[in-house]
Structure 1
Amino acid sequence: MEKRHWYVVLTYVIMQFSTILGVPLFYNLGIQPKEVALAYWLIFSFLSALIIILILMRKDMRPDQLRDDRSSLPVALLWSVFGVFLALFAQGIAGVLENKLFGIEPGSENTEFLVEIAMATPLFIVVTSVIGPILEEVIFRKILFGSLYKRFNFILAAVISSIIFAIVHMDFTHILIYTAMGFTFAYLYVKTKRIIVPIIAHVSMNTFVVLVQLVFKDEIEKYQQQVESMQFIFF
């Protein structure tokens, strides 16, 4: 990797661990309760990291006039839209495999936790739906996958980068789902040669999932309770 890419990765790592000091700091400054302090620190840290990373990556973001293998803008837009459905489809297939092979029930504690924070602090949706996906695509597709793809074939580079992408989410129960999503975004990147395509697809998918969780939260909880009741009665 280029030296500036290591700085980008370091910025991302620092951001991930910054909650250890940042949340207590905000809490002691009067931003309470702790869920609100967490939300505002995440907004601050993610936005700060995004600005720093975009500055570090400015050279990588310049259009290369000598390259003619990138998809045209209309084609890239079509792949961005199609990519949303492709990612949701991959997520659905992975969810079915988790359930059939390992007995893992649908639903993610990680997603539910983020939705709870978003309900307490609606501005936090910007982190889960926009800033987070942009950072993840730059780190895991542009840098990590891009570096691996120069040395290995697509399958191996996509699998390795996607597994690391899944591990970072710290939701090991659904590691297959996150890996499938990472693989899909890597495919979109290679297919179009434009990082903006997986970024748009990732942002759109996260926004859709968060809004569905927020708008239909009560209905989802009722459905889960009904399913659990039926399982209990059957048992």
Structure 2
Amino acid sequence: MNKRYWWILITYTLMQFSAVPGVLLLRELDIPLERIPGIWSMFSFTTGLLIIVLLLLPEIRNRHDVEGRSSRGEAVRWSIIGVFFVFAAQYAAALIEMFLLGIEPGSENTETIVEFAKAFPAFILVISVIGPILEEIVFRLVVFGALYKRFNFWISGILSSLIFAAVHMDFTHLLVYTAMGLVFAYLYVKTKRILVPIIAHVAINLFVSIVNVLLADQIEDWMEQLEQLEQQTSLIIGGLL
């Protein structure tokens, strides 16, 4: 692994650990406590992404020289296919966790992130765009890429996905993160374009953000209306019988 990739890993690590001094700093500025995680994440993730993109400039300039790189049309097709692959992998992994391992659905990590986004709506940009870009660069381009030079796809994909899950501090759902990581790694290997798993990852996170943050209240109202309709229907049917 070249030196720039090591600097990318160092930058990402420092970005993650900067939350501790960052929170302390913002608390001194009398910013509401519930908004602090979103505000600092917006700053640290954006800064980290800018630094990492600068470190990747040689790869960006020479991206057309990559052997076996898919065409733009193929990249678009695999980006779309990849979204459905990730959803399918998540669903399959969740079913295995629930029925074979007895793990209840739902993620505390996701719930915490949703709360941050509700307190500071701009944090949605971190969840749905900046975060996925960073994670694909770090865990697929750098970590998976380094492992794939030494091991086969499955070993490289599983190891990089486990690290991916560990960073999210969601060890209960290791299987879900591993399944997602394997799909993202496959998309990267298949197309030789890191942009393809980035697009798929952004699409997945954007969908989750819209459902859990922007439409959460509206969906709750729809569910209440549906329950009321079911109750009214039951009463009508009961009266007819």
Match for residue 162 of structure 1? 161
Larger radius of gyration, structure 1 or 2? 2
Give identity over the alignment, percent: 53
Match for residue 194 of structure 1? 193
Instruction: Say whether 1:18 aligns with 2:7.
Output: no
Match for residue 3 of structure 1? 3
Deviation at 1:182, TM superposition (A): 0.7
Taking the TM superposition and a 5 Å limit, the aligned residue runs for 1:55-134 are: 55-134=54-133
Aligned mates of 1:67, 1:17 — CA distance in 2: 34
Kindly provide the CA deviation profile for residues 16-70 of structure 1, in whole angstroms up to 9, marking residues without a partner as x: 11111101101211221x1201110010000000001111111122234444411
Match for residue 230 of structure 1? none
Gaps of 5+ in 2: 228-241
- In the superposition, the TM-score normalised over structure 2's length comes to 0.88
Gaps of 5+ in 1: 227-235
Secondary structure, counterpart of 2:103 in structure 1: coil
Secondary structure, counterpart of 1:79 in structure 2: helix
After TM superposition, the runs of 4+ consecutive aligned structure 1 residues lying more than 4 A away are 218-223
Contact kept, 8 Å, 2:49 with 2:130, in 1: the verdict is yes
Aligned mates of 1:40, 1:99 — CA distance in 2: 35
Match for residue 216 of structure 2? 217
Aligned mates of 1:67, 1:216 — CA distance in 2: 41
Q: Aligned in 2, Cα 1:220/1:182: closer, same or farther, shift over 3 Å?
A: farther
Deviation at 1:88, TM superposition (A): 0.8
RMSD: 1.7
Paired letter, 1:115: V
Deviation at 1:79, TM superposition (A): 0.6
Paired letter, 1:174: H
Secondary structure, counterpart of 1:106 in structure 2: coil
Secondary structure, counterpart of 1:102 in structure 2: coil
Paired letter, 2:98: N
